[in-house]
Structure 1
Amino acid sequence: MKIAFIGLGNMGGSMAQNLLKSGQTIFGYDLSEVALQHFAEAGGVVCTSPQAAAKEADVVITMLPAAKHVREVYLGEHGILAVLKAGSLCIDSSTIDPQTIKEIAAVGQTKQVRICDAPVSGGTLGAKDGTLTFMVGADAQTFNAIKPVLSLMGKNFVHCGDIGTGQIAKICNNLILAISMTAVAEGMALGVKLGIDPQALAGVINSSTGRCWSSEIYNPWPDICDNAPASRGYKDGFAAHLMLKDLGLAVDAATQAEHPIVLGSMVQKLYQQLCQEGDATLDFSSIIHQYAPHQCLLA
């Protein structure tokens, strides 16, 4: 099986490396020379364009920042749908709006190329460890066809429904994640301000009803979780500007559906402020800086 991987950033690069560890031959492309160098050092075959990576592939995986990038890679002037062979499978693991992937899949169908959405949860740690959860929007036949490939990069595979439902699940999950991270940041900062040791407070939260992934695995206060970005200067995680993008997707979807999204809108404004103040490229747990900038920046 020939696999192409387009988008080798913090998430895609680790996912591609797990494919390589399984002995697969992977043809990769990314705009970043550094990302391509890491991919090559891991044993990947570096290609000069998305088309070059995809033209002989049986399976193509894309992990890109936003809908405009996904649309360009698939449908642009040098898009991969122009060169993909009939019968090939495309797995888009980007986080985008459901309508875009539906439109791309419809074009793929005219070329006998099956396209599904399979965004992920688990963050950069899950990508490195191969423990991601995939939320798949596809028909049952396509879902079963891609599971062997997904199993090389993750542990959980949820068939959410038809094309686009994977994106719906991801948007809702990240909405909850952003809200919970902000809640943990607010609570941790308040506790420290009132005089409790952050380690003690985290211990209470994580053995009580406030416990959640954002508090236990990815705590935004420095030195609570050794492997969390907060303990390495908020670097090399899921960038705040990407979380802001995902919150925008959730707010837009709610607006179109005429559905209330009160907390999501409030958290979106906090992330907008965070990014405007210079933390856009830091991990999204740096939302703590909205509550305790002095303590955390010096930690």
Structure 2
Amino acid sequence: MIPTAVTLSRASTTGWIGLGAMGHHMAINLFTKTHAAHQSSSSGTPSAAPSFVICEQDDARADKFVTDLRNKGGAELAQRVQRAGSGKEVASLASRIMTMLPSTPQVESVYLDPSTGVAAGLPKDEEALHCDADAGASRRPHTILIDGTTLNPTAAMKVAKEIHEKSEGGAVMLDAPVSGGIVAAEAGTLTIMFGSPSPLATALAVPMLQRMAREGGVLPCGANGTGVGVKVCNNLILAINQIALAEGLALGKSLGIDPLLLHNVVNSSSGQSWSSRVNSPLPEVPNSPGSRNYTGGFQSRLMLKDVGLALHAASEYALPTPMTWAARAVYDSVCSEGQGEMAGKDFSVVLEWLRTRQKEAVERG
């Protein structure tokens, strides 16, 4: 347990579950900006000062988070952080909770496990959250839950529905996956697409999300499940684009075309994309993944996961997705390359995978 120097008030406490590579930076931004907003408010009172709860199974991650939070936000902020042991405990302590987890199974467990889940810790009768917006709701919730995980859209809808039913409307849940990677998470310039059950839930969630996003980067997508649905569709397109770019660049080199010349022509022509402009695998392009040996960025193993989510969603609607199946096969092979060293590299490393396959084919004759 990380000791806190204050007594927690649930109404003014924000909780965070999952301090991985993305969650670490996102939570630091949310906590520091929430704390700073209170300090700069002339109407703030000591009793209303925000407090914070974290839940992370890895002790080293939890300790590093508090250290980094202290370095960025000061000792006073760090002293207002308590560590909880489960989603259930977080829900009993905090009225605003965000989660950032690996995938669907973890989300279902953290929220719905009957012994340790968030739903099990939600209060039966609690003071409603304050909201300046008049959203016309018959009942104002006492808890706002935001999940930033990229998971199966159907599962996102199911979890949100169960939370609503188990809390009898006392808790509302949004799915709010993010785009921009670790660099944007640290800078607080993420793009966040969210699905929300109501205008009131949106009004309660947006101020939190804005503290982690770029200006104009908090994007409403519709009802529960649509936020993660948009993210999955986006990453389906992105995976295919990145593979197509790699194939074009590899063919260009085989044809004797200067890689940087081809890069510039593509970005002035109809073949351009975010992958070609921002995520080039070429080491000749400054500040590209290729120029830093594919370290950082969006890992290949995560792209493989997201492509799998897209295929699962498409299968529920009998939608043929031949290019997505091909992309899955490619990234499955990328992540299995050698000792799996490419799995943790930026997904633009698919160019190196293609070159390896080409070299093997030439050697075989």
Seq. identity, %: 37
- Looking at structure 2, the residues matched to 16 and 223 of structure 1 have their Cα atoms a distance apart, in angstroms, of 35
Q: Which of 96, 105, 113 pairs up with 1:59?
A: 96
Write the mapping of 1:6-155 to structure 2, written as runs, cut at 5 A.
6-24=17-35, 25-43=51-69, 45=81, 47-51=83-87, 52-76=89-113, 77-85=115-123, 86=126, 87-109=142-164, 110-111=166-167, 112-138=170-196, 139-155=198-214
Q: Find the counterpart in structure 2 of residue 211 from structure 1.
A: 272
Q: Alignment partner of 2:116: what SS?
A: coil
Is residue 300–residue 346 contact of structure 2 (8 Å, CA) maintained in 1? yes
Could you list the runs of 5+ residues in structure 1 that have no partner in the other structure?
none
CA–CA separation in structure 2 for the residues paired with 1:23 and 1:163 = 25
Give the match for residue 275 of structure 1: 335
Moved over 6 A (4+): none
Query: Structure 2: where are the runs of 5+ without partners?
Result: 1-11, 36-50, 70-77, 127-141, 359-365
Residue 284 of structure 1: how far off its partner (Å): 1.6
Deviation at 1:23, TM superposition (A): 4.5
Is 1:136–1:165's contact at 8 Å kept on the other side of the alignment? yes
- 1:74, distance to aligned residue in structure 2 (A): 0.8
- Residue 69 of structure 1 deviates from its aligned partner by 0.6
Q: Tell me the amino acid that sits aligned with residue 323 of structure 2.
A: L
Q: 1:272 to 1:48 in 2, by over 3 A?
A: same
Give the secondary-structure state (helix, strand or coil) at the position aligned to 1:55: helix
Q: Which range moves more in the overlay, 81-90 or 67-76?
A: 81-90
Map of 2:130 onto structure 1 = none
How many angstroms apart in 2 are the aligned matches of 1:120 and 1:33? Answer: 25
Distance 1:222 1:54, change over 3 A: farther
- In the superposition, the TM-score normalised over structure 2's length comes to 0.75
Change (3 A) 1:145 1:259: same
C-alpha displacement of 1:170: 1.1
Shift in alpha-carbon separation, 1:245–1:81, aligned structure 2, 3 A: same
8 Å contact kept, 2:195–2:222: yes
Residue 83 of structure 1 aligns with an amino acid whose one-letter code is G
Q: Does 1:165 align with 2:226?
A: yes
**Among residues 349, 354, 358, which one is paired with 1:286 in the alignment?**
349
Normalising by structure 1, report the TM-score. Answer: 0.90
Residue type at the aligned position of 1:141:
L
